[in-house]
Structures are given as C-alpha cells and as structure tokens.
C-alpha cells in the first residue's frame, strides 16, 4: 500500500549520524518531488545524549511534524526505551541487532527488522559508517528513492575525496542487501518520485538568513547562542556577496549596540539571538525606541528561564518581546509560522523597522529553527524593499519634527545641514535634551502614535474557516501549522471549528480578534509555554475570555492533542 503521508523517526546517540541520516532522507525526498517537513532534537551537552530526527514526507502540503511515527529506526537501546511506548500494531521497527546494549521486546503487531548496523560498520573498520548502513536499509525497505539518495550522498562526500565517497556508498549498499535479505513484511512505502518542483529544502534558521539577504541587510552583528547561531553562519557566507559586513560581537549587548550604530549610519541592520540574549538587549532596545532608530532582532525562542533547555522548543518569550524594556518603549513584534514565513516575514520585518523607525522583534522558535521544509524558491526580483523616510534637504532639519503620521525624516551622517543629536535622553524636535512634562508626553504620543497604522502595513492575522463555529482556535508561531491540520481533520469529522492565526503580535490588532471571537461559541488558545502568554494579552486587551491550553515539555504540539482538546470542550 502506498501511503501519501509517511513519518520516519531516526533516533540514537548524538554523534552516531542520526541527524545526518535524517537530512539525507529529507533531501532525497524533496529531490523526488515530495513535500517534506522535519523535526529534530539533540542534546545540549558536548558529551552526547539522545538525538532524534523525524522526517514527514507527502505528496500533499505539510504544516507540521505529524502526530507520531510510522517507522522507527533505533540506533541504540536508549532510542528504543524512549520510543517503545509509541510502538503500536502496524509500526515498522528497524533496529541495530546484535548491538550489545539491548535486545528489544517486540510488541504484538509491530513489524521488526533487525539490521546489524554496528557489526557491519565494525567489519568495514569504520564505526562512523553505521548510519550509512541504516540509510541503505531504510531505502530498501520503504522505497526511499535510491537515485536521489545517491545524488545527495555524492554531493555530501565528493569534496572529501573519492575514497571517502566510495566507502560510504559501499556501507549504504551493504545496508540495502541486509534489508533485502529480511524481506519486506509491512505496508509502509514512500510514494514514487513525481516531477520535481521549484522549491528549496531549507531550515528555519537558514530561511531567516536568506530573508535577511533578500531584504537588503548590509550589516549583521551577533553573539553565538543556541538555537540562533545558524542564522549568523548563513549570513556570514552570503553577506559579502552584497558588499555587507558581519561581526561576531563579544556579547549580545555589544551586538545590538553595533547594529544600532550601523542603522544610525544609514544601513539596514539586524541581529539574532535567543531569550537570554534578548534579555541583555533590553536597554539598547529602549535606546532604539527613544532615538527612533530602525533595528531588527530575531528571537529564536528556547526553553527557559535561565539557561533553561538550550536545544528544546518553547514559545515563551512573548512577554519579554512585547514589554521587555524600561519605561514605555514602543516596538513591533511579529511571529513566524513556518519556514516560508522565515523568509518573507524577515523581509517584512526589516521593512517595518525602516518605515516606522523603531525596533522590530521577530519571534521564531527552537523547533522551527532546526526543522527543514520544502518551500517555493523565492524570486529576488519580486521582493519589495521599503526604504526609510529621508530628509530632502529643504528648510531647517529637525530630526524629531512632528508630522501627520508621526514619522520624521532621517538624515544619514554627512548629509549637508543634517547634523543632529541622537540620544537616549528625552529630547525635543531638534534632538536636544528636554525633560519638561509637556514635551515628554508629546514625544510619547508621537512614538506610540506612529504605530497605529501597522495593522494596515502588514496582513496582521489570518482566518481559517467561515460562518459560525462551536470552537475557534487562536494559535501563534509554529503552533499554527499544528492547528491548521487539526482544524481540517476536525471539519472532516463534521465538527464546526475555525482557526485564527495572528502574525502581528504587537501592536495587537484587537478588532480582528474580537470580530473572529464573535463568530465562535468558545475560544481555545494552545501555546507552548507555562503561563499562557497570548491568552494573558487576549484577556487584557479584548473582551474575549479564552480557554488556555499550555504545554512546556520541550516539544511542539501534535494535531491529535489539539483535536482531543476540542472534543473535550464540546
């Protein structure tokens, strides 16, 4: 039987090639014209630990990592122990045997394929080829296209010399032979190749980097922090091609200070970090608000507080992103849904920062950062770049002169007659410090007032469904993709349900929320944090009283969790 939607999970010890095996499968499926959505988790410690990579592949669009796996490939005993409760009748179970550290008990109805991965690798005098043996076995058993897999392996290993490539291909073919000798006993099968599409298979972090380059950045400064570091690595490779500059700063305070300096000098500039780094940036974000300097900060959220869970998923920085500043400091906060959003919303966030001359915080998360997905290849010529309002050189220049839309023209350093003071102190129209109560209130009105039109500048929300619904689900960030699938499956079961997906988190588009809630009998808000942070803002800013649903175990929701909660409510 050919299943259009198939989930393969590879699990084992960090360093055994678990992650690379998943990457190879995902890339091969994408080259075979299929949609791909992946999820991976790995230890924060250098010494290793449990690592897992899940590949979901389908001929239809995918919005999340799926409910559970159809196929488990266990590299060691820990991988078996962690996942054994999910081995249900019909599951295909590929495992390393004899491996020395475990001999699994096969539950009734589970189809087992013992493959001597470790022993074969040892016989080949290279334990590092274990994952290639596993890859060959998975290819043979589940119809993962051999042609595209070989292409991926050649691309990966050809730079390491012909002997290295030949050795890995030999291990791959040995794995295929071992699996063929067992014979296929399950029904799982990856769909046959279809014509390839014009797509990229790219991670969320790399997609943010791509969006930054497409969005015209010319300066990037960051301090390495999990799970945001890969954004800087991507930008480091590509920003020299557009005559831009990247600096690895000594810490997050230095990085955002450098970004503000570059922006003041007239360049589109940004940084990326995670929750601990965003906390350190708070003072300079206030400086950006006061001096009305454009800056983009991408926050790839992770489990907290403190050092927390650096490699685990959470969406718990919403409080920090919206209100993490001293004083009343206006900023714009947006949240991405998927890898495609990571590209075009990074462009949009840069445009917002430039247009409104304020800090913009774009929220991603640990799951999305490392997940790869097939997305349409962007067309650079179709990318819209919005430039900041610049002084035209007429009259006396006053940097913070009042204007109908609250946005004052900027003058780059060196502009004739454009000299001005840009300070963190409260100031008057010309930039000179002014601490009088009337001036402070007037400047607050100016800084906050200009954000009133943000809801018209972007598409702030999306509504999934029409008419009246028994339950409306409000989801943000990468939880949206899970809810999209849950809503579709619930509707197929005859349940009246709708989805509401905000992309603009602040300023909150209150009218959109209340219009949606008016069409629903009850409102459910699932989010991956302990406090129900979006639910808090909904209760504070609107007349809606939502049902909060929270998890914070370091992994995303699954569609079935959302579906079960809706049924419980009903």
| Residue 7 · residue 71 · CB < 8 Å | yes
- Do 319 and 336 lie in one domain? The reply is yes
pLDDT score for 2:
47
Last residue of one domain, picked from the residues 129, 151, 182: 182
Report the chain's terminal Cα–Cα distance, integer Å: 35
Pairing mode, if any, of strands 332-335 and 504-506? antiparallel
- Do 28 and 175 lie in one domain? The reply is yes
What range does the domain containing 146 cover? 5-182
- Please give the Cα distance from 7 to 28 (Å, whole number): 14
pLDDT score for 196:
83
- Do 319 and 230 lie in one domain? The reply is yes
| Tokens 């000098």 sit on residue | 265
| Residue 115 · residue 133 · CB < 8 Å | yes
- Do 33 and 160 lie in one domain? The reply is yes
Query: Considering its fold, how many domains does the chain have in total?
Result: 4
pLDDT score for 1:
42
| Residue 255 · residue 228 · CB < 8 Å | no
pLDDT score for 46:
65
DSSP 133-178: HHHHHHHHHHT--HHHHHHHHHHHHGGG-HHHHHHHHHHHHHHHHH
pTM of the prediction? 0.95
Judging by beta carbons within 10 Å of its beta carbon (0-12, 13-18, 19+), is residue 492 exposed, middle or buried?
A: exposed
Last residue of one domain, picked from the residues 120, 149, 182: 182
Residue 517 lies inside a defined structural domain of this protein: yes
- Do 333 and 395 lie in one domain? The reply is no
Q: Which residues contact 240 (CB under 8 A, 6 or more apart)?
A: none
| Tokens 């445009």 sit on residue | 351
| Residue 187 · residue 70 · CB < 8 Å | no
Structure tokens that stand for 436 in this block: 């009088």
| Residue 409 · residue 389 · CB < 8 Å | yes
Pairing mode, if any, of strands 71-74 and 295-301? unpaired
- Do 111 and 150 lie in one domain? The reply is yes
Residue 191 lies inside a defined structural domain of this protein: no
DSSP state of 496: -
- Do 360 and 220 lie in one domain? The reply is yes
Last residue of one domain, picked from the residues 327, 350, 382: 382
- Do 127 and 147 lie in one domain? The reply is yes
- Do 25 and 162 lie in one domain? The reply is yes
**Which CATH number does the domain housing residue 175 bear?**
3.40.920.10
Residue 440 lies inside a defined structural domain of this protein: yes
DSSP state of 241: G
Residue 55 lies inside a defined structural domain of this protein: yes
Question: How does pLDDT run along the chain (570 residues), one tens digit per residue?
Answer: 445 689 999 999 988 899 999 999 999 999 999 999 999 988 776 667 899 999 999 999 999 999 999 999 999 999 999 999 999 999 999 999 987 778 899 999 999 999 999 999 999 987 789 999 999 999 999 999 999 999 999 999 988 888 889 989 999 999 999 999 999 999 999 999 999 888 999 999 999 999 999 999 999 999 999 999 999 999 999 999 999 999 999 999 999 999 999 999 999 999 999 999 999 999 999 999 999 999 999 999 999 999 999 999 999 999 999 999 999 999 999 999 999 999 999 999 999 999 999 999 999 999 999 999 999 999 988 999 999 999 999 999 999 999 999 999 999 999 999 999 888 999 999 999 999 999 999 999 999 999 999 999 999 999 999 999 999 999 999 999 999 999 999 999 999 999 999 999 999 999 999 999 999 999 999 999 999 999 999 999 999 999 999 999 999 999 999 999 999 999
Residue 487 lies inside a defined structural domain of this protein: yes
């Amino acid at each position: 039987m050919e299943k259009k939607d198939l989930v393969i999970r590879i699990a084992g010890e960090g360093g055994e090639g678990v992650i690379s095996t998943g990457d190879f499968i995902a890339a091969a499926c994408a080259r075979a014209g299929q949609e791909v959505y992946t999820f991976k988790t790995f230890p924060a410690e250098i010494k290793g630990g449990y690592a897992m990579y899940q590949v979901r592949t389908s001929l239809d669009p995918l919005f999340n990592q799926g409910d559970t796996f159809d196929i488990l490939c266990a590299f060691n005993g820990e991988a078996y122990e962690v996942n054994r409760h999910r081995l249900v009748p019909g599951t295909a179970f590929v495992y390393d045997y004899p491996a020395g550290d475990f001999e699994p008990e096969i539950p009734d109805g589970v189809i087992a394929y013992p493959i001597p991965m470790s022993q074969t690798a040892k016989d080949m005098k290279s334990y590092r080829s274990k994952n290639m043996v596993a890859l060959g076995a998975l290819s043979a058993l589940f119809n993962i296209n051999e042609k595209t897999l070989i292409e991926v392996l050649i691309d990966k290993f050809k730079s390491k010399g012909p002997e290295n490539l030949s050795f890995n291909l030999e291990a791959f073919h040995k794995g295929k032979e071992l699996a063929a000798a067992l014979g296929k006993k399950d029904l799982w099968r990856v769909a046959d190749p279809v014509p390839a599409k014009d797509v990229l298979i790219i991670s969320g972090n790399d997609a943010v980097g791509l969006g930054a380059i497409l969005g015209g950045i010319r300066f990037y400064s960051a301090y390495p922090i999990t799970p945001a570091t890969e954004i800087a690595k991507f930008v480091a490779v590509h920003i020299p091609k557009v005559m831009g500059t990247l600096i690895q700063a000594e810490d997050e305070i230095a990085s955002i200070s450098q970004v503000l300096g570059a922006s003041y000098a007239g360049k589109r500039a940004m940084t990326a970090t995670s929750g601990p780094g965003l906390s350190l940036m708070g003072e300079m974000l206030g400086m950006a608000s006061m001096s009305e300097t454009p800056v983009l900060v991408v926050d790839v959220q992770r489990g907290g507080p403190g050092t927390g869970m650096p490699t685990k998923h959470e969406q718990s920085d919403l409080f920090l992103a919206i209100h993490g500043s001293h004083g009343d400091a206006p900023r714009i906060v947006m949240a991405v849904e998927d890898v495609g959003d990571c590209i075009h919303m990074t462009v949009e966030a840069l445009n917002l920062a430039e247009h409104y001359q304020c800090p913009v915080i774009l929220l991603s998360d640990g799951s999305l950062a490392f997940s790869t997905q097939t997305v349409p290849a962007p067309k650079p010529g179709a990318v819209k770049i919005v430039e900041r309002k610049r002084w035209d050189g007429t009259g006396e220049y006053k940097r913070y002169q009042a204007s109908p839309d609250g946005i004052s023209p900027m003058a780059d350093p060196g502009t004739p007659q454009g000299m001005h003071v840009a300070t963190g102190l409260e100031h008057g129209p010309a930039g000179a410090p002014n601490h009088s109560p009337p001036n402070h209130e007037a400047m607050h009105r100016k800084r906050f007032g200009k954000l009133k039109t943000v809801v018209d500048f972007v598409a702030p929300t999306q509504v999934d469904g029409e008419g009246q619904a028994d339950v409306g689900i409000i989801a943000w960030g990468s939880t949206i993709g899970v809810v999209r699938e849950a809503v579709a499956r619930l509707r197929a079961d005859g349940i009246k349900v709708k989805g509401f997906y905000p992309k603009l988190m602040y300023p909150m588009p209150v009218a959109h929320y209340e219009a949606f809630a008016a069409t629903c009998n009850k409102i459910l808000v699932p989010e991956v944090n302990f406090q129900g942070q979006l639910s808090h803002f909904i209760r504070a800013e609107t007349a809606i009283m939502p049902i909060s649903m929270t998890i914070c175990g370091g992994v995303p929701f699954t569609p079935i969790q959302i579906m079960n909660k809706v049924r419980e409510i009903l």
